Amino acid sequence: MSTNRTFTMLKPDAVENGHIGAILEKISASGFRIVAMKLTQMTKADAESFYAVHNERPFFGELVEFMTRGPIVAAILEKENAVDDFRTLIGATNPADAAEGTIRKMFATSMGENAVHGSDSDENAAIEGAFHFSGREMF
Ligand code: UDP
């Protein structure tokens, strides 16, 4: 059974480029309720742990450097079928392949600097949400 929550980060590029408001507007207009949200910055250890599944990949060092270079907006979102619907809303990893109207198509600049993260499973949504938020920060 799918749960109704997912986890997202507006990545450093989106924050630097002034897209927080526009992306949150799109998320909200797409029917997601914000359960938890904060501006925060990941340490190198945070990013290495968060993306540990990719630690053998050639882009890992670049990814960690990118994700730690400035603040991010971390959030937990609620909606029926949240994980799949949010992945649809953000679009393909590479913005060149992302569908028109998706967040990555609109705001990402490259495969690496792709504006937004979305959990890829219910299990990871719970793990990633708990990585950034305590129970007292979820509403
Ligand atoms: N990434 C990258 N180069 C690649 C693939 C991925 O820099 O060839 C980065 C990109 O920021 C991506 C993140 O690593 O969002 C995690 O990759 P994943 O395959 O999990 O993509 P996602 O689930 O974010 O679409």
Cα 112 versus chain centre, distance: 13
Count of CB atoms within 10 A of residue 43's CB?
10
pLDDT tens digits, 48-100: 999 999 999 999 999 999 999 999 999 999 999 999 999 999 999 999 999 99
Listed in sequence order, the DSSP H helices in 1-139 are 12-16, 20-29, 44-50, 60-67, 82-90, 103-107, 122-132
Ligand 1 centroid distance, CA of 38 (Å):
22
pLDDT bucket at 2, cuts 50 / 70 / 90? low
Ligand 1 centroid distance, CA of 25 (Å):
24
Q: What are the φ and ψ backbone dihedral angles of 98, each rounded to 5 degrees?
A: -75, 145
pTM, whole model, 2 decimals? 0.97
The question of whether 19 is a catalytic residue gets the answer no
pLDDT given at position 3:
73
Position 2: which residue type? S
Average pLDDT over residues 90-112: 98
- Pocket of ligand 1, candidates 114, 116, 120: which has the most ligand atoms within 8 Å of its Cβ, to mutate? 114
Give the CA radius of gyration of the chain: 14
